[in-house]
Structure 1
Amino acid sequence: MFSSNGKMLKLVMVVALVVGVPTAYGAGDFHSEFEQTFGDHRLQISGPGNKDLSLTLDQYSGAGFRSKNEYLYGRIDMQIKLIPGDSAGTVTTFYLTSDQSTGKHDEIDFEFLGNASGQPYTVHTNVFSQGQGSREQQFHLWFDPSKNYHTYSIVWNPKLIMFLVDNTPLRVFRNYENHGIMFFPKNQRQRIYASLWEADDWATQGGRIKTDWSKAPFKAYYRNFNIDTSPNGAWMNHDLDANSRKRLKWVQKNYMIYNYCTDWKRYSQNLPPECKHAKHN
């Protein structure tokens, strides 16, 4: 947990329809809304007003935090600055998940997979429903995410899940239950998580490049976090308009590096059923 002189997170977030908690938050006190999950002193809050947070990874541990409350639907925006230089083997995360101990959890993932110096980060996205995942899409970015803060967003409403970077959509995962496809997280409340950890057995080029511990400690930075749980939020009806549809096509044409819906080697018999509809996003 945080020390008594603990500080406050500066993040920007909108998440919705919480059972048993207030219906709206501002950019509030980190101690009131969040708790550290692991890492001891490797999580630090600093800066004017105690509004900047860093996570550190060394040879002994990484660090992470989560929301105290659980949420069902909404929009989440978080500013993150990733590890500069050689970040191979590291994984920086920002995601939602329900209770994983049930074996039937739901999850919505942003994971940032580090790389050797000069090579781009891989942005890994995934969706789980009732314990089943394997809905990955991966991207490179059109900027260096370690030089400045950028805003990473998840929109989650009954119709869709949308992943955005600086308000540009990377990916849309839709609810196709009206087509008889029952794969969409819609019933389980989820907590917000963020973490920095080491996974050099798979994170960088399939595990071929290992973590260079001479570069440690590694640091990732988070700020600008806000929660608004208004049931009338714009997130409820958020969808692609003409401009964002054009941006999505641009991203997927130029920066997508993996799409489970085109992986015939993995799905040699049949692609997951939603894939036949996904091209119409």
Structure 2
Amino acid sequence: MATGSSVRFASLSLVLLLHLFALAPFSIWARPASFLQDFRVTWSDSHIRQIDAGRAIQLLLDQSSGAGFVSKSKYLFGRVSIKIKLIPGDSAGTVTAFYMNSDTDTVRDELDFEFLGNRSGQPYTVQTNVYAHGKGDREQRINLWFDPSADFHTYSILWNHHHVVFYVDEVPIRVYKNNEGRGIPFPKFQAMGIFSTLWEADDWATRGGLEKIDWSKAPFYAYYKDFDIEGCPAPGPANCASNPSNWWESPAYQQLDAVQARRYKWVRMNHMIYDYCADRSRYPAVPLECVAGI
């Protein structure tokens, strides 16, 4: 039979537990994702193979098809990470993509990683792009400073009310700031799904389409593991996406810290090979978001 003190202790513990639940941000995704639970195949099921009970997957590209998958839920702000091992050897003409997309036909929002295949011995190029309120054409490209086909590397997108940051192994390679006050679109109204595809794009992917796919090297494989999603699923409580207590909205994530800023500068100075901001043939007038200080 419980004593009075033990009953009071149990009641107090229950109150504290309920209080902690009340303080927690609503509907925040906070566990490692898995392919089986959190994603579905979008095309060519025969070209996607699950490994280790869905904790890893393999995408295949051959002359008959590529493949793709998407998250079962959409998210509004947060951070998405995935480890990818890219196609080894001669991968010219192939594109392995990891991106977020609102999946809307007219005014879409999208945040892209596109890994552009290469001829053997040449560096892998990663292209990033940002679509906001239907406006894209904001490509930037860097050559990766390692061989991304030799092992898994982590690729992440941080998305909050202040900026979007693309990371490679926690090194920021691109920052797109929220400058709505200056009339520059920023993606913040539409939830986005998490997509990945492996497909043929030899009309543009490698050296502007000069290097074509060598199908004698097919099939081509890309591998994925350690899916990680932290964000506000949609639909969900309206206050989740605007809750300032979400960790990704905290002051530490509103701008790059000193170490990240140095790494970012290093990438831009040593590995960037294309920036739409500097392309006067496409943009005779410098796009407003590219003006120094913005």
- Is the TM value for this pair above 0.5? yes
Counterpart of 1:104 in structure 2 is: 107
- The one of 168, 178, 194 equivalent to 2:171 is 168
Q: By how many angstroms is 1:183 displaced? A: 1.4
- The one of 155, 160, 163 equivalent to 2:158 is 155
Taking a change above 3 Å as real, the CA distance of residues 124 and 261 of structure 1, as seen in their structure-2 partners, is same
Residues 46-105 of structure 1, C-alpha deviations (whole Å, 9 max, x = no match) = 13x44111100000100010011111111111100000000000000100001232x110
CA distance in 2, matches of 1:183, 1:228: 24
Counterpart of 2:266 in structure 1 is: 250
Provide the secondary structure at the position in 2 that maps to 1:61: coil
- The one of 146, 151, 165 equivalent to 2:149 is 146
CA distance in 1, matches of 2:125, 2:34: 32
Taking a change above 3 Å as real, the CA distance of residues 74 and 117 of structure 1, as seen in their structure-2 partners, is same
Q: Is the 8 A contact 2:76 2:231 kept in 1?
A: no
Q: By how many angstroms is 1:225 displaced? A: 0.9
Counterpart of 1:53 in structure 2 is: 57
CA distance in 2, matches of 1:182, 1:125: 18
Structure ID, larger Rg: 2
Taking a change above 3 Å as real, the CA distance of residues 148 and 173 of structure 1, as seen in their structure-2 partners, is same
Instruction: Please state which structure has a larger fraction of its residues in helix.
Output: 2
CA distance in 2, matches of 1:266, 1:240: 29
Aligned residues: 255
Aligned identity (percent) is 51
User: Are 1:116 and 2:129 an aligned pair?
Assistant: no
Give me the CA root mean square deviation. 1.5
Gaps of 5+ in 2: 1-25, 233-242
Q: Is the 8 A contact 1:181 1:274 kept in 2?
A: no
Q: Is the 8 A contact 1:107 1:190 kept in 2?
A: yes
CA distance in 2, matches of 1:56, 1:236: 37
Gaps of 5+ in 1: 1-20
TM-score (normalised: structure 1) = 0.87
Counterpart of 1:17 in structure 2 is: none
Q: Is the 8 A contact 1:35 1:68 kept in 2?
A: yes
Counterpart of 1:198 in structure 2 is: 200
Matches within 5 A, 1:1-281: 22-47=27-52, 49-101=53-105, 103-178=106-181, 180-229=182-231, 232-237=245-250, 238=253, 239-268=255-284, 270-277=285-292, 280=293
Residues 198-247 of structure 1, C-alpha deviations (whole Å, 9 max, x = no match) = 00000010000100000000000000012233754432231201111011
